[in-house]
Amino acid sequence: MDEPLSKSQQRLRGRKLVEMTDDELLEWIDACEKMERGVSAAKARRSWKQSGQNAHEELKRRRMNETEWLACCDPGPMLEFLGDKVSDRKRRLFACACCRRIQHFFSDERSLKAVEVAELYADGLKDRVHLIGARDEARDVKRQFRANYAERQFLEPADAVVLRAAGAAQDVTRDTGMSAAINCYCETSRAMNMEDTNDCNPAELRQQALLVQCIFGNPFKPAFLDPSWLRCNDDTVVKLARGIYDEQAFDRLHILANALEATGCSDTEILDHCRIPGPHFRGCWVIDLLLGKN
C-alpha cells in the first residue's frame, strides 16, 4: 500500500494523544480512519481503529460542557478536563480523599500513615523526605502482604481488596498530585468491588466524582469572593472555616452557610455547596476560597 498519510499526519506518529492540540487530534483521527481502511491485517486494523477511538475520547474530554461536568460519574475525564488548570495540592488531596474512603481496609497502620503524610505534604507541612519515607513504608506493607500469600495460586477476594487498599496507600505518595490522583481513584474504586478484578466499582466512581466537585468546584463558574464577608462579625466566617479545615469537621458546613448569609453573601454556588451533605473533604473549594488556599 502506498503511504496514505500526509506529511503532517506522519509527524503525529508516536506522539501522545494528551500532548496533541485539538487540530492535531482531528488530523490523527483522519489518519487512523485512512489507515484502518488501507491495511489488510485484521490486527493492524483493530489497532488503528482503537487509536482513532482514543483520539475521539480525548477530544470529548477536552470539550466537556457544564452539564456533562455536573453529571459526570467518573473522576478520570474530570481530572483530564481540569488538566494543569488546578494545583498539585488539590489533586493530591483528592487522592487522599479516595484513600480515606477505604481506610477501613488497611491492614497495617503504615498505610494510614502514608495518607496522613500525603495530606500534610499537600499543605506544605511535611517535606519530600517524609513523603518518600512514607512511600517506602507503604510499599513494605504491600510487599509483606504479597509475600504472605506468595505460595497460593490466587488471592481470596477479601485479600485482593486489602492488597488494593495497600497499593492505593502507596500511590497516594507518588511524586506528583496528578499521578497520585489517577492511580488512587482507580485502585480504591477497584478495591470497592470486593473482589480481585480490574473493574472499577461504578457506585464508588460516582462518589469520587462528587469529591472532584467538592475539591475543584465548578470550572464553568469561577468562584467569587467578596473580601467584606471575611471581615464581617469579627472574622466569624474565617474562624469557622479554619476550624472546619483543621478539625476536618465538614458537618459544620451548614453553620458556615448561615454565617456567610449573615455577612450578606447570597452566592448560591457557595451556599448550596455548604448545604449539600457531601462528600466533603480537605481541599473543599468553599473552605479553600475563604482561607485563601489553592
Nearer to Zn ion, 161 or 284 (CB): 284
- Chain centre distance of CA 96: 9
Q: How many residues bind Zn ion (CB under 5 A)?
A: 3
Q: What string marks each residue from 208 to 237 as x (binds Zn ion by CB under 5 A) or -?
A: ------x-----------------------
Toward Zn ion, which CB reaches closer, 52 or 217? Answer: 217
Task: From 96-104, 119-127, 167-175, 283-291, give the range in contact with Zn ion by CB under 5 A.
Answer: 283-291
Residue whose CB is less far from Zn ion, 142 or 282: 282
Q: Smallest distance from the beta carbon of 273 to Zn ion, in angstroms?
A: 6
Q: Which of 190, 280, 282, 293 binds Zn ion (CB under 5 A)?
A: 280
| Site membership for Zn ion, residue 241 (CB under 5 A) | no
196 phi and psi angles, rounded to 5 deg: -85, 85
Least separation, in Å, of the C-beta of 58 and Zn ion?
A: 29
SS (H, E, C) 58-84: HHHHHCCCHHHHHHCCCHHHHHHHHHH
29 or 284, CB closer to Zn ion? 284
Rounded-to-integer distance, Cα 50 and Cα 103, Å? 36
- Residue 121 CA to residue 216 CA, distance in Å, equals 19
290 binds Zn ion (CB under 5 A): no
Smallest CA-to-CA distance from 94 within 163, 165, 179, 7 is with: 179
Nearer to Zn ion, 75 or 167 (CB): 75
Q: Round to whole Å and give the CA distance between 106 and 99.
A: 10
| Cα dist from 117 to 106, 126, 133, 253, whole Å | 15, 7, 9, 25
Comparing CB distances to Zn ion, the nearer of 178 and 214 is: 214
- Contact segment (CB under 5 A) with Zn ion among 3-11, 25-33, 236-244, 284-292 equals 284-292
* Phi–psi pair at 40, nearest 5 degrees: -95, -35
Which member of 284, 289, 290, 293 binds Zn ion (CB under 5 A)?
284
Q: How far apart are CA 175 and CA 193, in angstroms?
A: 27
Q: Is 90 in the site for Zn ion (CB under 5 A)?
A: no
- Whether residue 75 is preceded by a cis peptide bond, meaning omega within 30 degrees of 0, is no
Q: Binding of Zn ion at residue 100 (CB under 5 A)?
A: no
- Point out which residues bind Zn ion (CB under 5 A): 214, 280, 284
